[in-house]
Structure 1
Amino acid sequence: MELFDLSGKTALITGASGGLGASFARELAAAGAHVVLAARRLEKLESLANAIEASGGKALAVAMDVTDPDSVTAAFATVQETLGRPCDIIINNSGISRDDWFTRMTEEDWRAVMNTNLDGVWRVAKAGANALIDAGKPGSIINIASITARRPQHTIAAYAASKAAVEHFTHVMALELARYGIRSNAIAPGYFSTDINDEFLESEQGEKMRKRVPMRRFGEYRELAGALLLLASDAGSYMTGTTIVVDGGHLVSTL
């Protein structure tokens, strides 16, 4: 278990105000990391930070809007000033969706999804990687992709395209950052209930989707912890440029 120990490490999680991001923060804190909670809603982050510290962990809440370059820069500066070190682990989790047939989607909605899901990943990864390179430290960057990057689904063209781009960007990052000892990997979750999809999963269409998952259920947040800790810790020290799929067998289901 020492391989999974994150004591002495600092981990930044974007989109940490709820859902998967908050779950990731709790798991990383429980493994010993000093977690940096990043999102636009600072009041929610502070509540989570207090809960983590009440459980014996260490947490810092910082405001960050991944669509705003200045906000990303300021957040990383705050981490450096407060903790005196760069983040060893970066979890790119922020994401949104604008669901519609691509022929009806507006330019505004398409750009909003790309600016958060793809451009935001690039901004945060760039800032985090450069901070590690400047400090001469190794690290791990984990981008949250999706199984929709590999299997098409109606009305989520922008989301699926952004996640496909994130997965390939993860591979390019791995190639370019390996020389610095910085690993880049992705996790592709299947269907987990989040603010983005909870209404769909509870609908009649969502029930049809559940029946197509070989394990006949949607995922629980704790079931992403294994992949997260593997990629964040020394247990995955020789892993870079890979994507771990956690989907109950959804991708291997028959057509």
Structure 2
Amino acid sequence: MTESIHLRPLTGKNMLVTGVANEQSIAWGCAKAFHDMGARVAITYRNERDLAAVTPLAEQIDALCLPLDVTVDGQMQSVFAELGRHFGTLHSVVHSIAFAPKSDLHVPLSECSRAGFLKAMDCSCFSFIEMAHLAAPLMTEGGTLFTMSYHGAQRVVEHYNVMGPVKAALEASVRYLAHELGRQGIRVHAISPGPIRTRAASGIADFDELINAASQRAPAGTIAGIEDVGYATAMLAVDGARLLTGTTIHVDGGAHIMN
């Protein structure tokens, strides 16, 4: 038993991973890594359009699969109520959800509409705060909350536009939630991958140029894939990482340290 726990250090843990869209999703990389390290996993998908791609992934890791559109009132509450019935105790949550209307994402920040800014902030930032609020009562043994950020939260990245300040707000929320929840044994992290070719990233203009530039700049000579992000996230969920909290972890081959 001791050897099994050592090889699969998340054995006995219950994890929620939100925002799985297909096998290229960062969320899927996290769900797969949690499962490989011994955890029981629940995943969420946004809508019926995604369900066909997500169902075989859920079956692959024997995951509970639930719908979650953060713009639908009451749906997040339903997800956590079901997690309480299914798992009882929750140990980790991955928030991998972001959205901005294309008409606002594809223009300079100074031209973003008020409605578009509020939509981006609601879907990409406030949903994590709400998720933390609902997850905390289920984390009776402590746990870890994760959200996905990007280097554009800290430095100007061409074409990232409105998502820059939105992700900056998300990273600030990580720090405040870490402060508020720390005495409950709940730690909070932002994971900041380099550019990864996901469906969400396809909405960013000139994304291929962004990937090429990051690859050339990274000290490691390459940038991360979803598996790299998944395992880095999963390692922060182990009990041995219990005193790490409130951080932004860059999983980008070191590209963020370069000019």
Same fold at TM > 0.5: yes
Please tell me whether residue 172 in structure 1 is matched to residue 179 in structure 2. Answer: no
SS at match of 2:66: strand
Shift in Å, 1:116:
1.1
Q: 2:91 aligns with which of 88, 92, 105?
A: 88
* Structure with greater contact order relative to length (CA < 8 Å, sep ≥ 6): 2
SS at match of 2:109: coil
| Equivalent position amino acid for 2:137 in 1 | N
Per mean C-alpha deviation after superposition, the further-off stretch among 22-31 and 108-117 is 108-117
Q: Which residue of 2 aligns with 1:56?
A: none
Distance 1:240 1:49, change over 3 A: same
**Distance in structure 1 (CA, Å) of the matches to 2:235 and 2:33:** 12
Shift in Å, 1:217:
3.4
On the 8 A contact 2:191/2:248 being kept in 1, the answer is yes
| Equivalent position amino acid for 1:28 in 2 | F
Q: Which residue of 1 aligns with 2:127?
A: 120
Per mean C-alpha deviation after superposition, the further-off stretch among 168-177 and 2-11 is 2-11
**Distance in structure 2 (CA, Å) of the matches to 1:69 and 1:86:** 24
Offset from partner CA, 1:160-206 (integer Å, 9 cap, x none) = 11111111111111111111111112211111211122475664565
Q: Which residue of 2 aligns with 1:25?
A: 31
**Distance in structure 1 (CA, Å) of the matches to 2:171 and 2:8:** 24
Q: 1:243 aligns with which of 245, 248, 252?
A: 248
Distance 1:211 1:3, change over 3 A: same
Pairing 1:38-187 to 2, within 5 Å after superposition: 38-41=44-47, 43=51, 44-53=53-62, 59-81=63-85, 83-97=86-100, 98-132=105-139, 136-187=140-191
| Equivalent position amino acid for 1:253 in 2 | M
Shift in Å, 1:227:
2.0
Distance 1:224 1:111, change over 3 A: same
Q: Which residue of 1 aligns with 2:196?
A: 192
Please tell me whether residue 234 in structure 1 is matched to residue 243 in structure 2. Answer: no
Offset from partner CA, 1:10-67 (integer Å, 9 cap, x none) = 10011022310111111111111111101213523322111223xxxxx100111123
**Distance in structure 1 (CA, Å) of the matches to 2:7 and 2:209:** 43
Q: TM-score, normalised by structure 2?
A: 0.85
On the 8 A contact 1:100/1:156 being kept in 2, the answer is no
| Equivalent position amino acid for 1:108 in 2 | A
Segments of structure 1 that go 5 or more residues without pairing to the other structure are 54-58
Offset from partner CA, 1:69-121 (integer Å, 9 cap, x none) = 4110011111222x141321111111124232112222332222111110111
Give the paired residue count: 245
On the 8 A contact 1:17/1:39 being kept in 2, the answer is yes
**Distance in structure 1 (CA, Å) of the matches to 2:89 and 2:106:** 36
Segments of structure 2 that go 5 or more residues without pairing to the other structure are none
Q: Which residue of 2 aligns with 1:252?
A: 257
On the 8 A contact 1:92/1:142 being kept in 2, the answer is yes
Q: Which residue of 1 aligns with 2:226?
A: 221
Q: Which residue of 2 aligns with 1:8?
A: 12
**What's the C-alpha RMSD, in Å, of the aligned pairs?**
2.2
SS at match of 1:141: strand
